[in-house]
Every structure is written in C-alpha cells, then in structure tokens.
Amino acid sequence: MTESKTTTLYVIATPIGNLEDVTHRAVRVLGEVDALACEDTRQTPKILERYNIRRPGIVFSCHEHNESRAAERVLELLREGRSVALCTNAGYPGVSDPGYRAVSQAGAAGFRVEVLPGAGAVEAALLASGLPSSSYTFKGFPPKKPGRLRHFLEEEAGRPHTLIFFESPQRVGRFLDAAREVLGDRAAAVCIELTKKFERVQRGYLSELAESFRETAVKGEVSIVIAGSNPKFAREEGSEPGDRKEIDGVAAEDD
C-alpha cells in the first residue's frame, strides 16, 4: 500500500562547472526546502553561499557509499511532512551519480517527485561534438576490465545512434584505443571540463584521438562522444589524416 502525500522530493540539477548555470527556480526551491541531501556536503553549499540561499535546517550526504541509508532518511523526512532537495556535485542526480534509490523509493511510496531541469554534461557534450544529435545513447562510465569493456562496446557497434560516455581522466587513451578496435575509425570528440575556465573539445577520428591522448595527461571531467554506425562518419582505410569533411562539414545528419 503506497502513501499518498503532497510532500515533495525535489530533484535538482546543479551546474556541471560554471556556477552561473544554476536556474532561478533551483535558487528559489533550495531556499524553501526543509532538508538537503547532497553528494558532498562541502560542495553543494558553495551554491548556497554564491547566491545567498538560506541553508536548510537539515543537510546530509547521499553518495555512492551510503545511498541506501540516505534514501531511507529521505523517506523518513517525507513521511514527517518535510520537503527535501536532492543534489549531486554536478548535473542531474541519478545520471551516473547517486540519487536513483531515493527517487525510486519516494515515487513508489506515493510522494511527489519534482525534477528541476538544469545543466547536464550529456547534452553539452553532444552539442559540442558536432555529431548528429537527433538520436543518441548515453552509456555512462564504461567497465575498466578489457574483456568487459570490449563486450560493452560491441553491444553498440551496429547501431546508428550517436554514443556518449563518461570516462576517468586516467583512462581516456585506453578507452579510445578500445573504441577504435571495436567500432572502427569513426568520428568522435573528447570534451574536457565543459563550462569551466579550461574547457576543451578535441574532435577527430578515433585513431587520431587515441594517438593524441595515449600519452597525454588529462585533468578534469571527461565526456566522450562517438558517431553511430554510419558510413558518413567512418574513415575509410587509406584515407589521409586531413580528410575530415564528415566531421567538420554541415552534412552531419542523414539527408
């Protein structure tokens, strides 16, 4: 039997780097809620300080190591009639970040769950890549072990959708090498530190990017976008490195 209450869990997208990307609605709601569940209790308060938002009376952590306990606490607060805001360090809670359990359980218990849209690395990377955006698949973080990584990539090898991944800065070169081997030499983009001061987007074919990042140390958040299975975005064997009309040209979408 589910509970039926108007008490709300607010799922709030926060800036992925540039604090100016917070929304007016997020500022208002953060100042009104009774409790704040955040991935890092040192990180989210920076938004409160920046915009002079009243700190909620209850602030607690909800991260990958305590997500089950945190979800239980969220439910307890909702049952007490308190409103709760859920935030992660950047972007949307639950999208390759903690928050799924709290949202799922609150909805199943009959509480209102309200999502406040905002910045997201997936969409930002997709648009910055210059690759087709009409249909895409977000795959999150790939597996670390080579065998599992290969299988992970093989699942998408024949599909036409643009692919988006998050990756650790330490494994960018290795991932690009694996993607080139499994998917072929497709157009791709490596997006680093999106919206931040040292934002960088490097576009090219997987073979070029793999070579570029094989020995290059990367710092910051990384999103990788790879074209789907489409001859327009695949480099033919023997083509010259400078031949990249499929990447830089406007003819990115299917006719």
DSSP classification of residue 218: -
Quote the Cα angle for 38-39-45, to 5°.
50
* Residues in the chain, pLDDT under 50: 1-5, 241-255
Cα dihedral 149/89/194/210 (nearest 10): -20
Class of domain 121-248: alpha beta
Residue intervals of the chain classified under CATH 3.40.1010.10 are 8-116
Predicted confidence at residue 243, as pLDDT, reads 47
Predicted confidence at residue 164, as pLDDT, reads 98
Predicted confidence at residue 245, as pLDDT, reads 40
Pair of tokens at residue 123:
């969409």
Q: What Å distances lie between residue 31 and 27, 47, 84, 97, 197, CA to CA?
A: 6, 11, 11, 23, 28
Residue intervals of the chain classified under CATH 3.30.950.10 are 121-248
Predicted confidence at residue 239, as pLDDT, reads 56
- The CATH H-level (homologous superfamily) assignment of domain 8-116 is Tetrapyrrole methylase, N-terminal domain (3.40.1010.10)
**Distance between CA 93 and CA 102 in Å, rounded?**
10
Predicted confidence at residue 253, as pLDDT, reads 42
CA dihedral over 44, 46, 195, 118, signed as positive or negative: positive
Predicted confidence at residue 237, as pLDDT, reads 61
192 neighbors 221 (Cβ within 8 angstroms): yes
